[in-house]
Amino acid sequence: MSIQVRPLDAPLGAEVSGFDPRNITPEVANELNQAFLKHHVLVVHGPGLTDDELIEFGKSFGHIEAARKISPLASRPEIMVISNIRMNGELVGSLPDGEMNFHFDRIHQKKPNKAGVLQGIEIPSKGGNTSFSNMVMAYETLPDALKTKLDGLTALNTFEYGTTIDKDKALAADAPQANHPLVRTIPETGKKSIYACRLMTDRINELPAAESRALLDELCDHVENPKFVYEHVWKVGDILVWDNRCTSHARTDFDASERRLMKRVTVGDDREPIR
């Protein structure tokens, strides 16, 4: 059996079909991984998956980690609920409302995750779209002089859980932080990827503060250029898989009075980012 892979009319991403995400064979898992490495984002217009099925599908791309926050809407500890739904006045999920700046999941930790697998369950009538930037293409289109300047630089990345806009970030004393290469290499392909984002990357360690800020702003403006970005408009049942090592992602605003419910599993990595 061969899956069908249709590249999107976009700088990255492909729709994959011709298989049942509830029953993944080793052969299908291998084909999915090859498409994942080539296209960075996979879109599956599939049947709605149960929590157990979503976890099993996610295992096609690696080992699944436990969610940081347990939700009453999740039946397994591996399921992360992203939602603005409230029960008895309390949020049942993470990152509930509004716009979210471009970011890499867990770039503020020593060993960020390899991939995310996200399913849309309840979708607002407008907005709440997820955008992905192709950080490999963004790197490859940099001037050679800037590539040379970035070589060997590292950056400090921090995050305060629940923050969605960089201007709102106020760090607690124990906020997690990690230093990573500003340009990382994807081990399976050897491709280089810009590894900085507006929400979480605070400074370049080897540069004076003003020069660091100017260069980060330049890089963030560059990678957020629409010529590198695919924006996914969700439909109920959609599943997205993204390579968290070479794509940053963001969320558009939506009406807070409408329900939005997503469930995610996190595919772990077995190594830290490398130059």
Sheet order of strands, 247-251 included? 100-103, 247-251, 130-134, 229-232
- What does the pLDDT average to over 169-178? 88
Domain count, the chain: 1
Collapsed DSSP state (helix, strand, coil) of residue 270: coil
- Is the separation of the CB atoms in 81 and 263 below 8 Å? yes
- Rounded Cα distance between 206 and 212, Å, is 8
Question: CATH number, domain at 148?
Answer: 3.60.130.10
Residue 180, exposed/middle/buried by CB under 10 A (0-12, 13-18, 19+)? buried
pLDDT at 1: 55
Residue 135 domain flag: yes
Residue 275 domain flag: no
Q: Find the domain containing 87 and state its range.
A: 4-267
Residue 176 domain flag: yes
End-to-end Cα, the chain, rounded Å: 37
Full-model pTM: 0.96
Residue 272 domain flag: no
Element (H, E) at 38: helix 26-39
Residues 195-237 pLDDT 10s: 999 999 999 999 999 999 999 999 999 999 999 999 999 999 9
Residue 274 domain flag: no
Residue 102 domain flag: yes
- What does the pLDDT average to over 88-101? 92
Residue 233 domain flag: yes
pLDDT at 27: 97
Residue 273 domain flag: no
